[in-house]
């Protein structure tokens, strides 16, 4: 399993309800990875989720961003940006997790102890 760090307030938007919910992450780099990702809020940005893992998402695509992605990404389309598209995002009980830049691996003990209830 991989983890992705996201700054606040965008991290919290993945847990919002209705029209406020975010389902696309904007990145300046592409990835060929598809599958389960642990979503984490960076500790550097201040918000209710800062420094914690807060959700598990299913990354299904990563494509060049277009204006059509803006509403679901809660951000503007920029040249060279990629839309990382999540089919599902499931809230988990937040726990401290130190992410890194790029995608990073989630230690197997964290997966067993913290994520086994979500069958990931």
Per-residue pLDDT tens over the stretch 70-101: 999 999 999 999 999 999 999 999 999 887 77
Reported for 105-108, long-range contacts at CB under 8 A and 24+ positions apart, including other chains, are 105/1, 105/2, 105/3, 106/1, 106/2, 106/3, 106/38
* Residue 112 pLDDT: 72
For residue 113, the number of C-alpha atoms closer than 13 Å in the C-beta half-sphere is 9
Q: How far apart are CA 63 and CA 55, in angstroms?
A: 22
- CATH number for the 2-107 domain, one of 2.120.10.30, 2.160.10.10, 2.30.130.30, 3.50.50.60? 2.30.130.30
Residue 12 phi, psi dihedral angles, 5° rounding: -60, -30
Residue 54 phi, psi dihedral angles, 5° rounding: -135, -15
Domain boundaries, the chain: 2-107
Question: 25-29, 34-38, 98-102, 116-120: which has the minimum mean pLDDT?
Answer: 116-120
* Residue 41 pLDDT: 95
List pLDDT tens digits, range 40-49.
999 988 888 9
Percent of the chain residues past pLDDT 90, beyond the cut? 74
Quick check: pTM over 0.85? yes
Confidence bin at 105 (pLDDT 50/70/90): confident
């Amino acid at each position: 399993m991989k983890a992705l760090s996201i700054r606040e307030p965008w991290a919290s938007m993945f847990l919002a309800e209705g029209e406020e919910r975010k389902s696309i992450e904007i990145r300046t780099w592409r990835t060929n990875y598809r599958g389960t990702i642990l979503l984490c809020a960076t500790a550097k940005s201040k918000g209710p989720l800062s420094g914690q893992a807060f959700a598990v998402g299913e990354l299904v695509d990563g494509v060049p961003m277009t204006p059509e992605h803006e509403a679901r990404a809660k951000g503007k389309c920029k040249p060279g940006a990629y839309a990382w598209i999540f089919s599902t995002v499931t809230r988990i009980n937040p726990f401290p997790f130190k992410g890194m830049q790029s995608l990073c691996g989630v230690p197997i003990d964290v997966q067993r102890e913290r994520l086994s209830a979500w069958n990931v």
